[in-house]
Amino acid sequence: MTVTKNTLVAVSFALATVFSSDAVFAEAVAAPPSDVTEERADTTPLPGEGRSLRVVDIDPATDPAVTIAVQACVGLCNRTSGGSVFTRMNEKDAHWIEDLSLQPDTLLNADQFLEACKTEFPRYVRYSYKKQQTLLPNILTVSAVLEAVPIAEEMNIQWGDLVFDATTVFADLDTPYLATRYVYEHYVNETTGLAMLNPGYRRDGRKFWNPDLSGDMASSMVDFVFSEQLFVMFLVNGCITNTEQGALLNEIVRVNPWPKPIGVYGYANYWMVFGGYLFEAQTLCAESRNMGAIPTEVNNLSFFSTRRAPAADPDEMPQNALESVDYDPANTYVAFIVGDGDNINFMMGTRARWIRQRAEACNKGDAFCPPLTWSISPHLARLAPDVLKWYYEMSHATGKDYFMLPPSGHLYAYPSSLEETTMQDAFVAATEADARLFGTHSTVHWDFYNTWQYAEEVFLPKYATMNGAVNGVFPVNVPYMLPTGTWNPHQFFKVITGRDGGRVVLFRPREWRGVHDNGGPLDKEFYLSPKKMAEELGAYPRGTVTGIYMTSDGGLNLHNSVMELVEILPDHVRLVSADTAVQLALEASKTSEDQ
């Protein structure tokens, strides 16, 4: 996310307007720290060795209402018989069939699968795609709860038993606010979690408070909605104080049967302000401050999440042994972190492609295989454990790849803005549990622009315990590349000491987004060529320990960044993993204290 020089005042004004109310509710949202994972309501039946697998090919040109019906059927099938149906919609789906050695028993097209589904799940919900597109989140919720397939009038097909007629029920409840309130009042207690799915609103920032429909609803996560029985909504102004949608969203996230903090599936791609979605992290969306995002706009999660039990044993996914490096004040140490691992769509797509490329490069020898750390969603342990295991197996093939928690640990959230006691403590407990499962001691961290001092003084010390699992925190500037924390000009990390003497290293944020030296006045440092990045790293004071967070939103990829950089780095600059950087920073700190 970038910003021009003239937008900072406007951003501050917009934020002040949006967050005019700082009230934080203290209602009974508390859950003990151990009750913070998003477990399925009923994890049975899980598949056995004799499962039959159907692969359904969905042509990109398929009518959107048909695609939604197919995905709903897929979710119902996988809810009933775990890991039994997989859909192939694009190239990344095809790659997972190959990478996980999936052996389909039956290949079907969309029409053939719907014909079979009609017999297996004869119940249906009637609606009009053309007239009720903005109400699709609500229609999907009702359909998932009733185990019924959503069939649009425009499909012109006969189904079985009609159990809900949205064309009638929502005839007078024909706005997202009214339909969402109805579904909340009638069905929320039969859902297991929350998702936000855009029914097709424009996302380019024009009229972001009242966007037009500009396309069809993306169906890639509909299968998961049905397998998990999720409550789906998309209230464009739900995060805005003193609106009817805002009041409804606050009521929904305050009173519901879901685990807390609430992990919100899908993606809140509304309110694009100055190039980024203002509420995508969810935490600032509700007065109760009890939400964070689990970005999951991706296909086949109903298949992966039901195919086997969640990954729960750290021994199943051992990290590579850390490098053996002793701190030398004559060297500079840099950990490169592949970012955006919180987004499961990235982990199923671009990041999978990158780690395949990484394995090919490492086959050429150590000179082409510097240590590299990947941020990776902790929710893969439940949502796609086979995919998570595949990543670890790929890392073992190179011997030089490591994993850490993404922003901000357990959820993509602003942790310092969570409800101060209950939600923050629950978040820390969940993040530490994730770190132990993944075998890491590091996390990337986001916070809102005005909460970094609080984060340093109050929130992050919660990790600084003698037996804490998280020892290193790598912060990132959000939103709009505004500064984080308070840093001296030549300070690259701080050591935070907790009450019992435990220590956590907080690194100075540094991002790398593009490689063409084409940034603007306020963000040019994020778009350096490998040559200029090598010059910057080489000019750091000797003894520096730091981390670089890489994202692809500015055109960066592995080949045009790190792989070019390693060939021109000065000899005194050594690349290390994130956990090794934490150890070296602690050694450097001790050396400084002893002098």
> Does 1 map to a domain?
no
Q: What whole-number distance in Å separates Cα of residue 56 and Cα of residue 106?
A: 8
pLDDT band at 211 (very low <50, low <70, confident <90, very high): confident
Per-residue model confidence (pLDDT) at position 346: 96
Per-residue model confidence (pLDDT) at position 272: 54
| Residues 302 and 222 sit within 8 Å (Cβ to Cβ) | no
Edge-to-edge strands, sheet with 149-152: 149-152, 123-127, 161-165
What count of Cα atoms within 13 Å lies in the side-chain half-sphere of residue 469? 18
More confident site: 478 or 108: 108
479 preceded by a cis bond (ω within 30 of 0): yes
Domain total of the chain: 2
Q: What whole-number distance in Å separates Cα of residue 436 and Cα of residue 155?
A: 49
329 and 238 belong to one structural domain: no
Percent of the chain beyond pLDDT 70? 88
Residue 64: which domain range?
17-32+44-307
CA 37 to centroid of chain Cα atoms:
15
303 and 322 belong to one structural domain: no
Name the one residue in this structure whose structure tokens are 């998570």: 388
| Residues 252 and 239 sit within 8 Å (Cβ to Cβ) | no
Q: Which of 244, 277, 307 is the last residue of a domain?
A: 307
Per-residue model confidence (pLDDT) at position 208: 66
What average pLDDT does range 102-109 have in this prediction? 96
334 and 244 belong to one structural domain: no
Per-residue model confidence (pLDDT) at position 36: 41
> Does 546 map to a domain?
yes
H or E element in which residue 106 lies? strand 106-109
439 and 294 belong to one structural domain: no
Q: What is the 3-state secondary structure (H, E, C) of 126-194?
A: EECCCCCHHHHHHHHHHHHHCCCEEEEHHHCCCCCEEEEEHHHHCCCCCCHHHHHHHHHHHHHHHCCCE
Per-residue model confidence (pLDDT) at position 508: 94
374 and 291 belong to one structural domain: no
Per-residue model confidence (pLDDT) at position 99: 96
| Residues 478 and 451 sit within 8 Å (Cβ to Cβ) | no
Above 90 in pLDDT, residue 509?
A: yes
> Does 38 map to a domain?
no
Q: What whole-number distance in Å separates Cα of residue 247 and Cα of residue 238?
A: 7
Per-residue model confidence (pLDDT) at position 412: 94
> Does 403 map to a domain?
yes
| 541: CATH | 3.20.20.490
278 and 365 belong to one structural domain: no
281 and 322 belong to one structural domain: no
Helix (H, G, I), strand (E, B), or coil: what is residue 236? Answer: coil
Of the candidates 396, 347, 400, 394, which has an alpha carbon nearest to the alpha carbon of residue 373?
400
Above 80 in pLDDT, residue 572?
A: yes
pLDDT band at 593 (very low <50, low <70, confident <90, very high): low
318 and 267 belong to one structural domain: no
88 and 222 belong to one structural domain: yes
- The model's pLDDT over 276-299, given as tens digits with 9 standing for 90+, comes to 667 787 898 999 999 999 999 999
> Does 22 map to a domain?
yes
pLDDT band at 26 (very low <50, low <70, confident <90, very high): very low
pTM for the whole thing? 0.90
Most confident of 31-35, 198-202, 306-310: 306-310
- The model's pLDDT over 69-99, given as tens digits with 9 standing for 90+, comes to 999 999 999 999 999 999 999 999 999 999 9
> Does 552 map to a domain?
yes
Per-residue model confidence (pLDDT) at position 281: 78
For all residues of the chain together, what is the average pLDDT? 89
238 and 326 belong to one structural domain: no
- Using DSSP bridges, classify how beta strands 573-576 and 545-550 pair: parallel, antiparallel or unpaired: unpaired
Q: Which of 252, 284, 307 is the last residue of a domain?
A: 307
Above 80 in pLDDT, residue 238?
A: yes
> Does 7 map to a domain?
no
- The model's pLDDT over 134-157, given as tens digits with 9 standing for 90+, comes to 999 999 999 999 999 999 999 999
72 and 191 belong to one structural domain: yes
Name the one residue in this structure whose structure tokens are 């064309």: 167
What average pLDDT does range 312-333 have in this prediction? 96
Q: Which of 262, 278, 307 is the last residue of a domain?
A: 307
417 preceded by a cis bond (ω within 30 of 0): no
Per-residue model confidence (pLDDT) at position 24: 30
What average pLDDT does range 313-317 have in this prediction? 95
Above 70 in pLDDT, residue 416?
A: yes
What average pLDDT does range 405-413 have in this prediction? 96
- The model's pLDDT over 157-183, given as tens digits with 9 standing for 90+, comes to 999 999 999 999 999 999 999 999 999
What count of Cα atoms within 13 Å lies in the side-chain half-sphere of residue 1? 18
Least confident of 13-22, 82-91, 93-102, 119-128: 13-22
CA dihedral 557, 562, 563, 567 (to 10 degrees): 150
Per-residue model confidence (pLDDT) at position 271: 57
Q: What whole-number distance in Å separates Cα of residue 333 and Cα of residue 145?
A: 53
What average pLDDT does range 541-550 have in this prediction? 97
CB-based contacts of 354-361 (< 8 A; 24+ apart in sequence): 354/557, 354/558, 355/391, 355/394, 355/395, 355/401, 356/394, 357/558, 357/559, 358/394, 358/398, 358/401, 358/558, 359/394, 359/397, 359/398, 361/558, 361/563
96 and 116 belong to one structural domain: yes
> Does 210 map to a domain?
yes
- The model's pLDDT over 39-69, given as tens digits with 9 standing for 90+, comes to 444 444 444 445 799 999 999 999 999 999 9
Of the candidates 348, 329, 376, 365, which has an alpha carbon nearest to the alpha carbon of residue 592?
329
